[in-house]
Structure 1
């Protein structure tokens, strides 16, 4: 039966499978043939345009590969313009002159390359099916009695054949001179799947976040200028809101001073902060530096105390020990420290959480208390503890007013909580989501569900930080840490950073932050800002709408679309 006899049936079909759906063609003749086939063939056919293949020896391109269930898989070589045979050679007219071509060979080697690729794929276990080939001369006429030893008339299609090309391909496939079985619909579907490739890289949220991180870790012009200024000034305080790059600048300054730069000798540097999480981040970032080119001490105020010789420490609740007894003891020990153990410069991040009494032992730890380097990075709005000590020396104030860490969306939501107007420079990202929880319902459980959704999207546990306020979150932190344990398998579903708003700064490397909110202390507004700005490309806020509004204010509520 001629394919043309089924024209009525073809007319009611919705169209074939097209791969790609909207291809780009190198030549107009290929598009002409492709459109003719699209208009003619039934919906169970598949047309693949511009199929590229490569093996260890060469590359191949099939202009059109037509998958015809119950017939064959046909490789078509399309030639436009004037094409003819002269002295046994195929020729094609061009602007540069007549070209010698071999469309028959091109169609054949393309067919064999595709067949080898398909049959070599581990998904293919169906044996060999019928593969065929053809040549389409889109602009040249072909006589009805045309014949070549390697190209019978049924396998070459001229310009007058294009209107019935689908039927001609089906008729030619029925000849099946190689004797292999015709491919089924399932065979054709699998061939199309295999030719798309396998184990392809997917849209990777982690990779996109990593790229954004790389851009934010490069110093901006503003930061570079401040860094130059700090090389000329030994006593500086750099102020900036969350996400302004203070921590990155402090880290870079520590590297520069420890290495020596611009003709200046290497310095013995201490890089200090208040939170354990941030100290751990500093240590990881500096671990790759050569021993004699990294800061001599990186850690918390407590670790400075240990460096000075303190061996016994009070409990975390013993305020008198941390703010009176320990600083006094550290000052005594620092005064007795030999110059070789002291520092040429001390850099303090999170300075807003250093008590007044802490600055005395810091200054006594300098080789020169009068002129030694003291570089302080602070943001009063991120103060965690009810103390705000000031160094007992004059510092030159410098201000950072660009938000480099957060996307435009995160920066916009939490900008009302910032102590100053900041320009968002962190690029574009998804909207911050708000997950409401009814009064009396535990928002931490809802936050856990948000974490699961982030992990399902492709985030790794180490990319997710979940922060909560109030006493309820502390038991949750212990629960999460117990679930992870010290020998956590790689398949764990727990976020790597789980804790209170107060500890949020330790998760500044987290690329996705889900904040859960329970009744907050009086510092809730400030801590909400600190936690909310931890997320870099994406963030979620979970909690009771009324409580979120009370903590963040009406501007934050409006940006979260509450109410």
Structure 2
């Protein structure tokens, strides 16, 4: 039995839109030897398109370690070709003709595109076999005679018909032999080459959430991406300009990281960026030293490019921007303008850009972002966003024309936290994770010092008695203007050794982090204490509540006066 990717059940095969593809899938699955690798419905985008190699898809890619690979285009029903017009038609059971794409040309382009895509993979250059035999063929499983279809560019051995379904091993072998015999310099693909093909076109992955959790019984349920997320990643294989929308916890950042890594591994010089500096630092830590991948916040990008341009040209780009836009905001207007100026001096550009938390970007940011792309029109640009997390009140106007794709499953929060956070959500419905979890915990006191005493006591209990890792605990202050008052209330209180407090830093295993809701946006933690609510107008800060509550994966404590805590949590509450 050949190696089939994906491995479809009989029920899934029955649900395929193309009955012709289903027939060939069953034949290849049942009759090909194990040495063959069969990839079904393969999609790709290329770093650079040309006349022969283009973005696209192939119905079947059949590879053998000794004989090369074959791209097969499948068409159901009868078939008709008009030589005087060059048009192809399928013929349905009512003998009605329907114009179709040229299947020979489709298979031919797929052959060259797949070879180009393999060469884009750095591993192919390092470990690949070099020149290999590759070919194309067409299959018409509903017709019983190939002779009328034979043309100068389509010999009979490259045309599959009904009888070949029963002898698929011989047909595939003959088609591969046709192409390999015409290229005496071709090398075998070999085991390494087969693995590179599989990795390039059927990359499997399992992704842990961004912050490593130690609450194991719930974490096991979060490890794999939902079917909804997998669907979106499949869409991204063939789309060059996409915006992806989803509520808190739907995996936008996980997907952004995974997509950026994939692009980089395929040879794209890639930028992964966001607005929030703390999120950028965390993403950089998560990605590590990935070749071809730069990770930084938008303003880090501005600063570095402007500095580089100044060193090369002697110009002060930021001063020029200040003169052009006097009195305008430094970060919202002047730095983006300076970044645009720097492109005249430092033309280094990216093959692809992935933007997380896109709702935080002002319209002024998108022009220099687009100008950083190697091709303004076609270079891949992916924007992940959540309109309900627009706590910086940025304008949502993305340089992408198509409708956004939606993520609709919350794979971060327990159901209890989901219910508490999503009462402040406005948008497309999001399905809870199915992880029941604990009720929302309330720590209530009238004064801030009393709140701090009870909050501190609970943290000590979690670390000393419940054996919670300090790095799994974050205290988030909602009132950012008074954040230092709240920090000071806790910093003088000791934690069990060797635990310690950390203020607005990177999450560390031995430290309980103190931060603000706005700074922590885009990040997550197993346990969150949401504090600093009493001085806010909660009716006007619902997006802040949505963001703060949804940062918690497993447990959230709302620390406030009783009136405020009950207003925040509505009916989903429990005294700590």
Normalised by the length of structure 2, the TM-score is 0.54
Pairing 1:23-172 to 2, within 5 Å after superposition: none
Counterparts of 1:335 and 1:548, CA distance in 2: 54
| Corresponding residue of 1:304 | 301
The separation in 1 between residues aligned to 2:445 and 2:488, in whole angstroms, is: 22
What CA distance in whole angstroms lies between the structure 1 residues aligned with 2:383 and 2:213?
33
Q: What are the within-5 Å matches in structure 2 for residues 410-449 of structure 1?
A: 410-420=417-427, 421-425=429-433, 427-438=435-446, 443-449=451-457
Q: Which residue of 2 aligns with 1:326?
A: 335
Residue 472 of structure 1: aligned partner: 482
Going from structure 1 to structure 2, the CA distance change for 1:214 and 1:267 (only over 3 Å counts) comes to farther
**SS of 2:570's equivalent?**
helix
Structure 2 residue aligned with 1:463 = 472
Which of these residues, 352, 355, 358, is aligned with residue 351 of structure 1?
Answer: 358
Q: Which of 360, 371, 376 is 2:367 aligned to? A: 360
CA displacement at 1:542 relative to structure 2: 1.2
Q: 1:373 to 1:482 in 2, by over 3 A?
A: farther
* Partner SS, residue 375 of structure 2: coil
Q: CA deviation at 1:383?
A: 1.6
Rounded to whole Å, the distance in 2 between the matches of 1:529 and 1:422 is 14
Q: Kindly provide the CA deviation profile for residues 194-238 of structure 1, in whole angstroms up to 9, marking residues without a partner as x.
A: xxxxxxxxxxxx975256445424222111110110121111111
Alignment of 1:254-273 (within 5 A): 254-260=260-266, 266-273=267-274
Supply the distance in 1 between the matched residues of 2:233 and 2:225 (Cα, whole angstroms). Answer: 9
Q: 1:546 Cα shift?
A: 2.4
Hey, what's the Cα distance between the residues in 1 that align with 2:537 and 2:392?
Answer: 12
1:430 match: secondary structure? coil
Kept after mapping to 2: 8 A contact 1:469/1:518: no
**Which among 397, 400, 404 is matched to residue 411 of structure 2?**
404
1:501 partnered with 2:517: yes
**Cα shift readout 1:482-512 (whole Å, capped 9, x = no counterpart):** 9899xx973326653212221232541x211
CA distance in 1, matches of 2:448, 2:218: 38
Match for residue 251 of structure 2 among 245, 250, 254 = 245
Equivalent in 547, 555, 560 of residue 573 of structure 2: 560
Alignment match of 1:530 (pick from 547, 561, 574): 547
> Structure 1 residue 439: deviation in Å?
6.2
C-alpha separation in 2, matches of 1:483 and 1:434: 21
SS of alignment partner, residue 215 of structure 2:
helix
Secondary structure of the 1:236 match is: strand
Give ranges in structure 2 of 5+ residues lacking alignment: 1-211, 309-315, 503-510
Q: Distance in 2 between matches of 1:441 and 1:482?
A: 12
Q: Runs of at least 4 residues of structure 1 off by over 6 A? A: 311-315, 481-485
Shift in alpha-carbon separation, 1:325–1:429, aligned structure 2, 3 A: same
Cα shift at 1:255: 1.0
Q: Is the 8 A contact 2:416 2:572 kept in 1?
A: no
Aligned to 2:59: none
Structure 1 SS opposite 2:382: strand
**Residue 453 of structure 1 pairs with residue 469 of structure 2:** no
Confirm whether residue 383 of structure 1 aligns to residue 390 of structure 2: yes
Counterpart for residue 135 of structure 2: none
Kindly indicate whether the alpha-carbon contact (under 8 Å) linking 2:328 and 2:334 is maintained by their aligned counterparts in 1. no
Task: State the match for 2:527 in structure 1.
Answer: 512
Matched, 1:225 2:216: no
Aligned partners of 1:342, 1:454: CA distance in 2, in Å? 48
In structure 1, stretches of 5+ residues that fail to align are 1-205, 261-265
Distance of aligned partners of 1:255 and 1:241 in 2 relative to their CA distance in 1, 3 Å threshold: same
Distance change (3 Å), C-alpha of 1:354 and 1:480: farther
Per-residue deviation, 1:319: 6.5
SS of the residue corresponding to residue 502 of structure 1 reads coil
Report if the CA contact (8 A) 1:468-1:501 is conserved.
Answer: yes
Name the SS for the 2:515 alignment partner: strand
Does structure 1 residue 277 correspond to structure 2 residue 278? yes
Contact 1:310 1:330 in 2 (8 A): no
* Counterparts in 2 of 1:381 and 1:443: CA distance versus 1, 3 Å: farther
Distance 1:549 1:395, change over 3 A: farther
C-alpha separation in 2, matches of 1:482 and 1:364: 49
**Structure 2 CA distance for aligned equivalents of residues 472 and 337 of structure 1:** 41
CA RMSD of aligned residues (A): 3.1
Equivalent in the alignment of 1:61: none
What is the match of residue 193 of structure 1? none
Give the C-alpha shift of residue 537 in structure 1. 1.4
Given that residues 501 and 530 in structure 1 are in contact (C-alpha distance below 8 angstroms), is that contact kept between their aligned partners in structure 2? yes
Instruction: Give me the whole-angstrom Cα distance separating, in 1, the residues matched to 2:262 and 2:537.
Output: 40
- Could you tell me how far apart the structure 1 residues matched to 2:552 and 2:371 are? 37
Query: Structure 1's 273 and 440: CA in aligned 2 closer, same or farther, altered over 3 A?
Result: closer
Q: Which has the larger radius of gyration?
A: 1
Q: In the aligned structure 2, how far is the partner of 1:447 from the partner of 1:248?
A: 31
Contact 1:353–1:385 (8 Å) recurs in 2: yes
After superposition, the C-alpha distances for 1:120-155 in whole angstroms (9 at most, x for unaligned) are: xxxxxxxxxxxxxxxxxxxxxxxxxxxxxxxxxxxx
SS at match of 1:402: coil
Q: Is the 8 A contact 2:566 2:573 kept in 1?
A: no
Q: CA deviation at 1:425?
A: 1.4
Which string of whole-angstrom CA distances, capped at 9 and with x for unpartnered residues, describes residues 2-26 of structure 1? xxxxxxxxxxxxxxxxxxxxxxxxx
